[in-house]
Amino acid sequence: MNKIAAPKGTGDIYFPEIGKWQYLEDKIRNYFSRFLYKEIRTPIFEHSELFSRGIGSETDVVQKEMYTFQDKAGRSLTLRPENTASVVRAAIENNLFNEMFPLRFFYIGPMFRYEKPQKGRMRQFHQFGIEVFADKSARVDAEVIYAAFNFLKEIHLCGTEVEISSVGCGQCRPGFLEKLKTAAKEQEKELCGECQRRIETNPLRIFDCKNESCIKISAAFPKMIEHLCGECDTHFAELQTALQVLKVEYKINPRIVRGLDYYTKTAFEITSNQLGAQNAVLGGGRYDNLSNELGGPDIVGTGFAAGMERIILHLQDIDRKQRKTILVAYQNPALLDHALRLCETLWSSGIHAYMEYDAKNLKKQFKKGDRISADYTFILGDEELQHNTISVKDMKAREQITIKQEDLEQWLKTNI
């Protein structure tokens, strides 16, 4: 029979790597609750329309990268490529905008995009993120950036840099886009095929192009931050003041446009140089019209999403204190049930314990003890049984003592 492999761009996560994932997930849950975020879990697949309307039908994500399929009833469904549109959909559908306070959510989970797999980029990848609703203030954007920046600091991700920009609003963006189109048309022949197409469909995305000649040419194009309306300009200034209050160092990078259409005003990225080149680990911004676009009330929003694979690659080895583990060993198979009873006592006290069920001798059991990195081995032999004792071997110190069964509880309290 042929072996069956996992689909391209997906992978299995298991010990010891899984330890980093659990560490990161624990940190996310603990850290963001400091700012009163509550977890939300939305479905892995949604109606395709949610993403074409929410993210924008002209974006790369919607045009090229979605896993879209028909179910047996002929509905068009899509594996979620990101989570913000789903969170907004869930808030509208469950009336959370009226019923919850504060309107702050965090999420952790897999997302799906049909992209070329490479190191740190998978087709099933994982993101965590936060969303805050119903707060127009630039200060809440600053708080979101502060929370993101300090989170990366707390998990010891080095070389991080905050870059901010503004992508304007419905008042100032259309006029700017016309100016941008005119400038791009003048240089049309020098741009790559993709960018030539973008001039009409989504000219902002020219700033995202990785093609070197496009980068050079677009450097001279007009910038959104130079064409903001009064309201957006004030918002951008207030954002910067608040970042200074929160002691977050930042750089203005007018090329940040974000890949998704729903952003308004604040857009930001946090990069890290820990993998060599400066790489974005996290991005976000404000999306004041998304709820409206999805048929919901006029509720503004702001947040970020972070790729977990990249963060995991950057994570130093976890110095998390491991729980101590006990191997329960028996001298001969006649003592199996006595050993099992002892194991049960340990498990029911919340202690990590393990025993082998078909080992013929102690030596074999000790070998397994090495493989589970046991801190102690409890040995039951005929003699121990007769005297109601347990022989306890400290595997690191290589010392052995004998304790009475009735002193077991006290010994566990002191040593485990």
Which residues bind to Zn ion, rule: CB under 5 A?
168-169, 171-172, 192, 195, 209, 211, 214, 229, 232
Q: Whose Cβ is closer to Zn ion: residue 29's or residue 179's?
A: 179
Residue 196 Cβ vs Zn ion, minimum distance, rounded to whole Å: 8
Closer to Zn ion by Cβ: residue 100 or 192: 192
Query: Cβ 209 to Zn ion, closest distance in Å?
Result: 3
For the bound state, the minimum distance from the C-beta of residue 182 to Zn ion, rounded and expressed in Å, comes to 17
CB-nearer residue toward Zn ion: 225 or 343: 225
State both tokens at 4.
């069956």
Cβ distance to Zn ion smaller for residue 169 or 392? 169
Return the number of the residue (293 or 356) whose C-beta is nearest Zn ion: 293
Local structure of 93: helix, strand or coil: helix
Distance CA 213, CA 190 (A): 7
Distance CA 251, CA 271 (A): 11
User: 1 in helix, strand or coil?
Assistant: coil
- Alpha-carbon distance 149 to 268, whole Å? 11
For every residue of 346-392, DSSP letters joined together read HHHTT-EEE--SS-SSHHHHHHHHHHTT-SEEEEE-HHHHHHTEEEE
Q: Quote the tokens at residue 82.
A: 């990101």
3-class DSSP state of 365:
helix
* Backbone torsions φ then ψ of 260, nearest 5 degrees: -115, 145
Shortest separation between residue 227's beta carbon and Zn ion, angstroms = 9
Q: Which is nearer to Zn ion, 131 or 208 (CB)?
A: 208
Amino acid at position 278, single letter? Q
Continuous segment of H or E residues that includes residue 180: helix 173-186
Nearer to Zn ion, 195 or 329 (CB): 195
Determine the angle formed by the axes of helices 138-154 and 230-245, rounding to 10 degrees: 40
Per the structure block, which two tokens stand in for 153? 């600091």
Minimum distance from CB of 307 to Zn ion (Å)? Answer: 23
Q: How far is the CB of 249 from Zn ion (least distance, A)?
A: 26
Kindly state the smallest distance separating residue 169's Cβ from Zn ion, in Å: 3
